[in-house]
Amino acid sequence: MPALGTKARILRAANRRLQKGGISRLSMRTIAADLGITPMALYRHFRDKDELLDALSQDALNEWLRRLQEIGSESPLKWLHESFERFLAFALDSPTRFEAAFLLPAPKARRFPDDITLRRSPTLTLMMNHIERAQFEGSFCRDESPEYIAMTFWALAQGLVALFRAGRFTGATEFRDFYLRVTARCIASFRRS
Amino acid sequence: MPALGTKARILRAANRRLQKGGISRLSMRTIAADLGITPMALYRHFRDKDELLDALSQDALNEWLRRLQEIGSESPLKWLHESFERFLAFALDSPTRFEAAFLLPAPKARRFPDDITLRRSPTLTLMMNHIERAQFEGSFCRDESPEYIAMTFWALAQGLVALFRAGRFTGATEFRDFYLRVTARCIASFRRS
DNA sequence: TGTACATCAGTGAACGCGCGTTCACTGATGTAC
DNA sequence: TGTACATCAGTGAACGCGCGTTCACTGATGTAC
């Protein structure tokens, strides 16, 4: 009864490794050791370390997309608040996958403005859709484009979490308070005046 | 005529190394090789690699503080705009030192809110002074504390630069435009309404 | 002025480590006839 | 139903690399008397 294929088990072990020790301590050898397997067995499932890292990051990005998609389609403003909260939750409750999703080198990352405008990024597109809805409804101002606003949100959330991860807050509680206040304020700053 | 002591030359070489290759490729051996010196010679000047890294980051933080201090004391609002521009310039024209200042692990980093409120961070204190002046003059609203506002600015600027460094912008020009627009907007959002 | 000695920057070989990856292999499982 | 063969997950030893750091040293420079 192989509930999980070896490939999936490798990714899970890699995530665990990532959790303690971070990227720098993630090696083919440690992952294999955690699984009670020879390092070379990994090469049966991934061409090389880069491919494994890539799978890891894809996996985590999918998880993030899934969390975003799970948000109920209430009012667009509520959706935006909720998306900020989910980003925070993702960063706090799964620092591993958060790190894999956003901190591993991502060769295929979408670029602003072209890729974004062309809706090539699934997560940012999702966010932009709700921003557009908010603008359409009249609850958001229209002087800025959805991609501009989405990218602003993105930068702010990333910056806040980066400071937290760099140990710039006394504790998680202080961080949570600050994060929620700042992001709420940022959303508010785009409301129709 | 030793224009530069060996210690200073080591730090300069380390900065150069940091420039190409980043932190991960910064090793005692490569630094020494760049100087045409034996790796062990470095240990005459630094107890170990950590101490060298620490000196590197202190050095870069001082450079950043110096750049902030050089801003003329015009109106507080102009000062804040200028500080954002200098942060951008620092990130773009000296990515090396920027990386050393903000991306190297900083064991002594000040924490929000305690250390900040107590004015333990020289750069944030400088920024908070101008925010206070703006509030006193009446050009900034008073519903938020200077430390809250300063930390918000800080997170936003860091987040923007992090996205740029992660290759999320088509080019430096697009980034510069976006950065300046977003930060100006953020400053504006704290003006008295 | 000359000698003895301490200081100190830098040398060069070596140690032990963890890393990604190579190579030739074993042994079980599935499939074709 | 039995045999021959391909497939495929995993093994185990080894290679070559760059790393931080140890150790005992050399040789020049400064200082005390």
**B81-140: pLDDT as tens digits:** 999 999 999 999 998 889 899 888 777 889 999 998 889 999 999 999 999 999 999 999
Strand C neighbours among A 44-63, CB < 7 A = 48-50
Confidence (pTM): 0.91
**B12-34: pLDDT as tens digits:** 999 999 887 788 889 999 999 99
What's the token pair of residue B14?
A: 């380390």
Is residue B154 within 8 angstroms of chain A, CB to CB?
A: yes
Partners of A143 in the beta sheet? none
Q: Quote the pLDDT of residue A105.
A: 73
Res A23 pLDDT > 60: yes
The nucleotide minimizing the C1' distance to residue B24's CA is: D19
Q: Quote the pLDDT of residue B1.
A: 34
Chain B residue numbers touching A178 (CB-CB < 8 A): 112-113, 148, 151
The nucleotide minimizing the C1' distance to residue B32's CA is: C10
Q: Quote the pLDDT of residue A104.
A: 81
Q: Which of B49, B98, B112 to mutate to test the interface with A (most CBs of A within 10 A)?
A: B112
Average pLDDT, chain B: 93
Amino acid at B120: R
On whether the CB atoms of residues A122 and A65 are closer than 8 A, the answer is yes
On whether the CB atoms of residues B52 and B14 are closer than 8 A, the answer is yes
The closest alpha carbon to B100, from B34, B13, B5, belongs to B13
Q: Quote the pLDDT of residue B3.
A: 52
Please give the torsion angle defined by the CA atoms of residues A45, A48, A51 and A57, in that order, rounded to the nearest 10 degrees: 90
Q: Please state whether strand D lies within 7 Å of residue B45 at its CB atom.
A: no
pLDDT band at B2 (very low <50, low <70, confident <90, very high): very low
**A142-182: pLDDT as tens digits:** 999 999 999 999 999 999 999 998 889 999 999 999 999 99
Protein residue with the closest CA to the C1' atom of nucleotide C12: B38
- For chain A, give the percent of residues with pLDDT over 70: 98
Residue contacts between A and B (CB atoms, under 8 Å): 94
In terms of CA atoms, which chain B residue is nearest residue A107? B167
Q: Cβ of B25: how many Cβ atoms within 10 Å?
A: 10
- Look at B170 and A113 and tell me if their CB atoms are within 8 Å: yes
pLDDT band at A3 (very low <50, low <70, confident <90, very high): low
Residue range B179-191: average pLDDT? 97
In terms of CA atoms, which chain B residue is nearest residue A23? B24
CA A46 to chain centre: 24
Phi/psi of residue A67, nearest 5 degrees: -60, -40
Q: How is residue A142 annotated by DSSP?
A: S
Distance between first and last Cα of chain B: 60
Res A45 pLDDT > 60: yes
Q: Quote the pLDDT of residue A138.
A: 95
- For chain B, give the percent of residues with pLDDT over 90: 79
pLDDT band at A2 (very low <50, low <70, confident <90, very high): very low
Residue range A121-130: average pLDDT? 96
**A9-20: pLDDT as tens digits:** 999 999 999 887
What span, in angstroms and rounded, lies between the C-alpha atoms of A100 and A19? Answer: 10
Residue range A100-122: average pLDDT? 87
Strand C neighbours among B 33-52, CB < 7 A = 37-41, 44-45
What span, in angstroms and rounded, lies between the C-alpha atoms of A192 and B27? Answer: 53
Q: Burial of B58 by CB count in 10 Å (0-12 exposed, 13-18 middle, 19+ buried)? A: middle
In chain C, which nucleotides are within 7 Å of a protein Cβ?
Answer: 8-14, 18-24
Average pLDDT, chain A: 93
Could you give the C-alpha distances from B121 to A164, A193, B108, B110, B140, in angstroms and in order?
16, 36, 10, 6, 22
pLDDT band at B70 (very low <50, low <70, confident <90, very high): very high
Partners of B169 in the beta sheet? A112
Chain B residue numbers touching A165 (CB-CB < 8 A): none
Tell me how close the Cα of A113 comes to any Cα of chain B, in angstroms: 7
